[in-house]
Structure 1
Amino acid sequence: MRKLKNSELDRLNIDEFKSVEKTPLIIVLDNIRSLNNIGSVFRTSDAFLVEKIYLCGITATPPHNDIRKTALGSTKTVDWEYAEHTLDVVNKLKSENVKVISIEQVERAIMLNDFQPKISQKYALVFGNEVKGVTQDIVNASDLVIEIPQFGTKHSLNISVSCGVVVWDLFSKMQKKEKVSF
């Protein structure tokens, strides 16, 4: 096997990315401290055609050198918006009939592998602070909470890893359903 060159990957350019149909997913970052995590979320969002990212509270915004290092240009492709209060964003999205899902460990959480997204539904995925997670008021306002099953000694994953796992899982489930419906 030979590694492919970037020129052989047939990726979208910025204009094509902006005009292509997006995956019905929105990311909400609730007070993320690490600029590298923010950049990684942008990069994952670009890879899976996420509709938009909301950067809330203390979450830094582009342009910033440490975001740029991990985002690798995806801050130019993925739409984003800053909001001071995460709860305002959650309430706005819910009023637009977007299902809000916090990614957290709570009582009665749905395990990610058990969650089946509806193809006609748009979802907002809330990821929380590296230390405190998603705040309780946001958990309370969410339509549901999904937990990533974990089996080792640690009780959490890095926020950028969590985002990659959840977005890939939902993206792949949505793609399978689309393919079946043809």
Structure 2
Amino acid sequence: MRPSARSTSIFLWARRHKGLLHGILAVIIPLRKRMRLIAHDIRSLHNVGSLFRSSDTFGVEKIYLTGITGTPPRKEIAKVALGSEHRVPWEQRENTLELIRELQMQGWFICALETNKEAKSLLEVKRKNGKIVLLVGNEVEGLSSEFCTACDAIAEIPMPGVKRSLNVSVAAGIALFWFGTQMR
């Protein structure tokens, strides 16, 4: 599949006006809310793209891609992210547990989004000191107990319906919206 004329035009404009683009980003990025996202073992590149798009929408300042999670540039990510993969800073990390501990040492509150016995309602989780990292994992296997134990909180989205399961990108979007409202 060939890139569209519009996406090629945008890419060429960004390349020519790199200084202007960095200036604009220098203004926009500080406006982002103090939220970060760790996406661990996300198999679907479309879900990765959707996570970028939701992160851009709700003001996430950085995404960490860990485990087998795919990274840009990939056409499957770009198709869903609609340019968000270029706006939201991201980093690929090897060791998720080490990343969790590193972020905690920097004062970040880490919340795993998972359905297990220790999870409390997302509505009960409050941001500590305004800095929060949301950790999401593989839809089938979820997050390991080791990761959940390392986190400051484990939250689940209240679901009154029969099917108690959401797509990882949908669930992350709900949680990011919730944490974003706490910054008002």
Q: Same fold by TM (over 0.5)?
A: yes
Query: Is contact 1:33–1:129 with CA below 8 Å preserved after alignment?
Result: yes
SS in 1 for 2:154: strand
Instruction: Determine what percentage of the aligned residue pairs are the same residue.
Output: 38
In the TM superposition, 1:43-54 aligns within 5 A as: 43-54=53-64
In the TM superposition, 1:46-125 aligns within 5 A as: 46-118=56-128, 120-125=129-134
Query: Is contact 2:72–2:78 with CA below 8 Å preserved after alignment?
Result: yes
List runs of 5+ in structure 2 lacking aligned partners. 1-20
1:18 Cα deviation (Å)?
4.4
Q: Deviations over 1:54-96 (max 9, x none)?
A: 0001000000010000000011100000012211211111111
Q: CA RMSD in A?
A: 1.5
Query: Is contact 1:14–1:76 with CA below 8 Å preserved after alignment?
Result: no
TM-score normalised to structure 2 length: 0.83
Higher mean C-alpha displacement, 24-33 vs 87-96? 87-96
Structure 1 residue identity aligned to 2:41: N
Higher mean C-alpha displacement, 149-158 vs 70-79? 149-158
Q: Corresponding residue for 1:29?
A: 39
Q: Distance in 1 between matches of 2:132 and 2:93?
A: 18
Q: Corresponding residue for 2:179?
A: 170
SS in 2 for 1:23: coil
Q: Distance in 1 between matches of 2:166 and 2:23?
A: 34
List runs of 5+ in structure 1 lacking aligned partners. 1-12, 176-182
Is 1:157 aligned with 2:161?
no
Q: Distance in 1 between matches of 2:23 and 2:72?
A: 19
Cα distance change, pair 63–153 in 1 and its aligned pair in 2 (3 A): same
1:110 Cα deviation (Å)?
2.2
Query: Is contact 1:127–1:163 with CA below 8 Å preserved after alignment?
Result: yes
Cα distance change, pair 42–18 in 1 and its aligned pair in 2 (3 A): farther
Q: Distance in 1 between matches of 2:125 and 2:46?
A: 28
Aligned structure 1 segments of 4 or more residues deviating by more than 6 angstroms = none
Structure 2 residue identity aligned to 1:140: T
Cα distance change, pair 173–102 in 1 and its aligned pair in 2 (3 A): same
SS in 1 for 2:61: strand
Q: Corresponding residue for 1:9?
A: none
SS in 2 for 1:75: helix
SS in 1 for 2:34: strand
Q: Distance in 2 between matches of 1:131 and 1:173?
A: 30
TM-score normalised to structure 1 length: 0.83
